[in-house]
Amino acid sequence: MPRPRSISDAELLAATARAIGAHGPGRLTLAHVGAEAGVSPATLSQRFGSKRALLLAFAAAAAADAAGPYRRARAVHDSPLAALHAAADEFAGHLSTPEELANHLGMLQLDLSDPEFRAHAAAHARAVDAALRELLDDAVAAGELPVGTDVPRLARALQIATDGSLLRWALTGDGDPAALLHQDLDHLLGRMP
């Protein structure tokens, strides 16, 4: 009879995210993830098989929870636009240094160059788009955005603004990423007709 697992896959994938932030996917080792999770590299190897398989599991889990920040924020905020800002806080809260963002962007190279990773990245992007559209539809219904708002286009622009704002922060190192992200989102939303 196999021994019960002392640590869940979700905990191991959270440790993987932290290790990616510290080392980037290229330099990442199972020992890095094991140190973050408090398990041996052998445990990770038994559970996932290889570093590539672990990174693919991480990418799949990220895609599966891509709408999570928006849904969690919406569950605690009556205002859809307040929920949008709360989700932005969650994204920015995962970053402490520009180097950490650079390490996470290393996953983008895998996403663009490897078809298996690209499939997860595409699913992630579609899930974020759907979550943003749902939030913006709620904002129109609540009167926070004007009737007739081009929700699909605005959702796309918000996704681009979020990514771009955090990248600009990483490039310049200026200011607080959450505050900058809020300013950029407010500017975009304030330009709505």
69 and 56 part of one domain: no
Domain enclosing residue 142, as ranges: 65-190
pLDDT tens string 178-188: 999 999 999 99
140 and 175 part of one domain: yes
Section 46-64 average pLDDT: 96
Q: Does some domain include residue 2?
A: no
> With a threshold of 0.85, does the pTM exceed it?
yes
137 and 78 part of one domain: yes
* Lookup: tokens for 82: 């307040």
17 and 77 part of one domain: no
Of 72-76, 112-116, 119-123, 189-193, the poorest mean pLDDT is in 189-193
pLDDT tens string 107-119: 999 999 999 999 9
56 and 69 part of one domain: no
53 and 75 part of one domain: no
52 and 73 part of one domain: no
Q: Which of 17, 41, 60 is the last residue of a domain?
A: 60
70 and 26 part of one domain: no
Residue pair 170/159 in contact (Cβ under 8 Å)? The answer is no
77 and 22 part of one domain: no
pLDDT of residue 193 exceeding 60, the answer is no
3 vs 172, residue with greater confidence:
172
32 and 99 part of one domain: no
Section 139-144 average pLDDT: 96
- Gyration radius of the chain over CA positions: 18
**In the structure, what pLDDT confidence band is assigned to residue 95 with cuts at 50, 70 and 90?**
confident
Tell me, what's the pLDDT at 173? Answer: 83
Q: Which of 17, 35, 60 is the last residue of a domain?
A: 60
Q: Does some domain include residue 1?
A: no
Tell me, what's the pLDDT at 70? Answer: 96
For residue 116, the domain's CATH number is 1.10.357.10
- Give the chain's domain count: 2
pLDDT of residue 127 exceeding 90, the answer is yes
For residue 36, the domain's CATH number is 1.10.10.60
pLDDT of residue 52 exceeding 90, the answer is yes
CA distances from 8 to 5, 39, 109, 113, 127 (A): 7, 11, 28, 30, 24
Tell me, what's the pLDDT at 192? Answer: 53
Tell me, what's the pLDDT at 1? Answer: 44
Tell me, what's the pLDDT at 190? Answer: 84
**In the structure, what pLDDT confidence band is assigned to residue 174 with cuts at 50, 70 and 90?**
confident
Average pLDDT, the chain: 92
Instruction: Choose among 58, 53, 55: nearest CA to 14.
Output: 58
69 and 25 part of one domain: no
CA distance linking residue 1 with residue 47, whole number of Å: 16
99 and 182 part of one domain: yes
Tell me, what's the pLDDT at 97? Answer: 87
